[in-house]
Amino acid sequence: MPSSASTRVPLPPALVIAVLCFGSLSGALMQSLVIPIQSELPELLGTNASNTSWVVTMTLLAGAIAMPVAGRLADMYGKKRVILVSAAILLLGSVVTAASSTLGPVLLGRALQGVAMGYIPVAISLVREVAPPHLRAGAVAAVSATLGVGGALGLPLAAWIAQYRSWHDLFWVSAGLAAVVIVVSWLVVPEQDERSPGRLDVVGILGLALGLAALLIGISKGSAWGWGSLITWGCIVGGLLVLLVWGGYQLRQSSPLVDLRTMARPAVLFTNLAAVLIGFGMMAQSIVVPQLLEAPASTGYGLGQSILMVGVWMAPAGLMMLVMAPVSSRMITRLGPRLTMAAGAVVLAGGYGVALGLMDAPWQLMVATIVASSGVGIGYAAMPTLVMDNVPRSESGSSVGVNSLMRSLGTTSAGAVMAALLTSQTQVLAPGTPPIPTATAFQLCFAVGAVAALAGAAITLLVPRDRPQRSIPPAAAHQTGRTAEESLAG
């Protein structure tokens, strides 16, 4: 008797792609949801600013850990199942945060929202399987771009809600989005039959979580704790040591959480290293430009914009990432993902060059962020294609998850580095007021962002040249027990 899955009428691929984009965008919005109210959180939650800074850090940290784990679980148990669980976690985290007014429950809710970002790498790997060949590159580009788009569009949306509504409404809105994601994902996303055999590596998950948590906490809190602090370096060094031990453990497992031998292939390794630098470049502008827009006009360089207007000036950059998805798709088809990713990094560096020369008016910074975000859109779109072209199909979810993790390492590092640069050169406008960054500090941040992006382009060019596609007869593929994509990936 045929199963219900086999008799189900296939839905149009474009509809499936749209749902995966919507779900990924909803998850990525969580990155910037609380930024407009960050300065008000100590009063809202009845604690100090040092404690409330964890409201942002917790989401980024949980997301970084969740993405490679979700990718591996999707390879083992099915992508649709992990997508639905991730969306349900987003709903739970949003409701917990919306219903809370004290720090503990809010941190729990924000951590759950970060875990839900595991939806994104799974959606990226799934869309490649469900999209027809002529839509595949563009579909992967669109879903991948949501990592940057969500963070960019979350700022104006959250600023508008926070200004005219209660801060709790930020999370009731995200709960509503999560509920919609659950329903449309259940109805539209197809169940894939292919599974990667193996067991759940619980020790590997715990080791990865512990090592990443210590490393990312040390990096993200370095500016607050001090870069000479024993706590800062204890976290960083301790995290690296745990990850080294974890790596040795993974190499001895028959069913590892992350196949480090696959990750060590030159094409995958250099792509992931470049992802750190391009992620750094993407986040640096998101941190520095809003501060420059908000700086008092009395400084002579500040633009005196409200947080709502900051969101308005930054929104076109977020939209540009989506606009560039089809452009990146055509570039991938003509040039290959390697050159496309390198080109995106160069365009990102060009955006910082524009910012160095044009920082006297809001519209000038908007132009700079549009250029930079165009580069991010191109680069982010090519990354997962470059990774999936060089790994077995059975490891696509976990491999894209690791790539997403490397982007997160870059964005977390950017926060720490930009904070250090902005506090390295400060001035006091009036007695009793806190020091603010000088114009030179902002220019230094733009220069460092450009250098990071160019370094990302250079590393991308170390990726071995794209190999010509070889057709493998179905019979031969069946006899070897491997798909054509697995055979090409080695």
| Of 395, 338, 319, the residue nearest 128 (C-alpha) | 395
Q: Given CA atoms 44, 45, 50, 54 in this order, what sign does their dihedral have? A: negative
Do 145 and 22 contact (CB within 8 A), yes or no? no
Per-residue pLDDT of 230-260, as tens digits, reads 999 999 999 999 999 999 999 998 888 888 8
Do 372 and 366 contact (CB within 8 A), yes or no? no
pLDDT tops 60 at residue 6 = no
Q: What is the pLDDT of residue 166?
A: 85
Residues 6+ apart with CB under 8 A from 310: 155, 159, 290, 293, 294
Q: What is the mean predicted confidence (pLDDT) over 132-141?
A: 80
Q: What is the pLDDT of residue 415?
A: 80
Task: Give me the phi and psi of 427, to 5 degrees please.
Answer: -140, 155
| Of 340, 346, 348, the residue nearest 386 (C-alpha) | 340
The residue behind tokens 């055979």 is 487
Per-residue pLDDT of 428-484, as tens digits, reads 777 777 788 888 999 999 999 999 999 999 999 999 875 544 333 433 343 444 443
Reading the block at residue 60, the tokens are 């980024």
Per-residue pLDDT of 35-76, as tens digits, reads 777 778 888 888 887 788 888 888 888 888 888 888 888 888
Q: What is the pLDDT of residue 195?
A: 64
pTM: 0.80
Q: What is the pLDDT of residue 141?
A: 79
pLDDT tops 50 at residue 91 = yes
Residue 486 confidence class, pLDDT cut points 50, 70, 90: very low
Which position has the higher pLDDT, 244 or 403? 244
Q: Locate the DSSP E strands across 372-470.
A: 426-427, 436-437
Q: Given CA atoms 398, 131, 275, 223 in this order, what sign does their dihedral have? A: negative
Do 485 and 387 contact (CB within 8 A), yes or no? no
Residues 6+ apart with CB under 8 A from 359: 292, 301, 365, 368, 439, 442, 443, 446
Q: What is the pLDDT of residue 59?
A: 86
Question: What percent of the chain is modeled with pLDDT above 90?
Answer: 31
Which position has the higher pLDDT, 326 or 7? 326
Q: What is the pLDDT of residue 367?
A: 94
pLDDT tops 70 at residue 212 = yes
Q: What is the pLDDT of residue 479?
A: 40
Q: What is the mean predicted confidence (pLDDT) over 171-198?
A: 86
Please give the C-alpha separations between residue 109 and each of 13, 59, 378, in angstroms, as whole numbers: 33, 9, 33
Average pLDDT value for the chain: 84
Do 476 and 487 contact (CB within 8 A), yes or no? no
Do 28 and 146 contact (CB within 8 A), yes or no? yes
Question: What percent of the chain is modeled with pLDDT above 70?
Answer: 91
Per-residue pLDDT of 306-360, as tens digits, reads 878 887 888 888 788 878 888 888 898 888 899 999 999 999 999 999 999 888 8
Q: What is the pLDDT of residue 5?
A: 42
Q: What is the pLDDT of residue 10?
A: 66
What one-letter code names the amino acid at 52?
A: T
Q: What is the pLDDT of residue 420?
A: 84
Task: Give me the phi and psi of 275, to 5 degrees please.
Answer: -60, -35
Q: What is the mean predicted confidence (pLDDT) over 261-267?
A: 89
pLDDT tops 70 at residue 1 = no
Q: What is the mean predicted confidence (pLDDT) over 82-94?
A: 95
Please give the C-alpha separations between residue 148 and each of 11, 24, 32, 104, 196, in angstroms, as whole numbers: 28, 10, 11, 28, 29
Helices 362-388 & 337-357, crossing angle to 10 degrees?
A: 160
